[in-house]
């Protein structure tokens, strides 16, 4: 690989790292905002003494576990794709890639298995009927988890790009 080609790859990696850092910052702000809204809803319910608080808490905990497993299953699948896409787009491979992809595949299977225990049907059995706040809470939690996954995806991309930059620079 020529010096000009190496410099070009380095610059492309640097540019991608900058874009990912900006995206991480944006996702962080959104996650904080959603977390604050979730806190406000739960505090409002506690303050107003609406419904069976223990049952509401069980529902929320079930949702958290369900979303964690469901979203992380999808995230692991996406992380395998990230490694493949970065390697292909930059025409660079790293020794850690196979280990990472194998690890993510195993994690993906583990998360999928956990969705049999914590799933939407199980959680809905804990939900009290006509609970507008629980529906709103569920929606905010869902959106927060979506952005947490975006954040994790970008963070992983950042780390892979940083490792590739080191490999190209040496």
Which tens digits make up the pLDDT trace of 46-78?
777 666 677 777 888 888 889 889 889 999 999
Structure token digits, residue 1: 């690989």
Alpha carbon distance, N-terminus to C-terminus of the chain: 12
Check residue 10 and give its pLDDT.
87
What are 75's two structure tokens? 């995230």
Is 70 exceeded by the pLDDT of residue 41? Answer: yes
- Single out the residue of 42, 58, 59, 77 nearest to residue 149, CA to CA: 77
Which tokens is 87 given?
Answer: 């390697």
pLDDT score for 15: 94
- At 119, is the pLDDT very low, low, confident or very high (cuts 50, 70, 90)? confident
* Full domain range(s) for residue 152: 3-169
For the CA atoms of 101, 102, 104, 107, what is the dihedral angle to 10 degrees? 170
The beta-strand segments (E) located in the chain are none
pTM greater than the 0.75 cutoff? no
Quickly state the pLDDT bin for 169 (edges 50, 70, 90).
confident
Contacts of residue 25, defined as CB under 8 A and 6 or more positions apart, other chains included, come to: none
The total of structural domains in the chain comes to 1
Q: Answer yes or no: is pLDDT of 132 > 70.
A: yes
d(CA 106, CA 116): 17
Question: Is the Cβ–Cβ distance between 6 and 165 less than 8 Å?
Answer: no
Give the per-residue pLDDT at 133: 75
């Amino acid at each position: 690989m020529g010096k000009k080609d190496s410099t070009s790859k380095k610059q492309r990696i640097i540019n991608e790292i900058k874009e990912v850092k900006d995206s991480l910052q944006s996702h962080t702000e959104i996650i904080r905002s959603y977390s604050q809204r979730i806190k406000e809803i739960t505090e409002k319910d506690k303050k107003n003494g609406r419904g069976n608080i223990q049952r509401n808490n069980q529902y929320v905990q079930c949702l958290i576990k369900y979303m964690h497993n469901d979203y992380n299953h999808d995230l692991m699948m996406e992380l395998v794709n990230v490694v493949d896409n970065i390697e292909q787009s930059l025409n660079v491979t790293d020794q850690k890639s196979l280990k990472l992809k194998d690890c993510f595949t195993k994690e993906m299977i583990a998360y999928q298995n956990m969705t049999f225990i914590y799933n939407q049907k199980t959680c809905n059995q804990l939900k009290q009927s006509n609970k507008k706040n629980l529906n709103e809470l569920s929606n905010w939690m869902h959106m927060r988890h979506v952005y947490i996954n975006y954040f994790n995806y970008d963070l992983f991309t950042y780390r892979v790009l940083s490792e590739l930059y080191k490999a190209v620079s040496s």
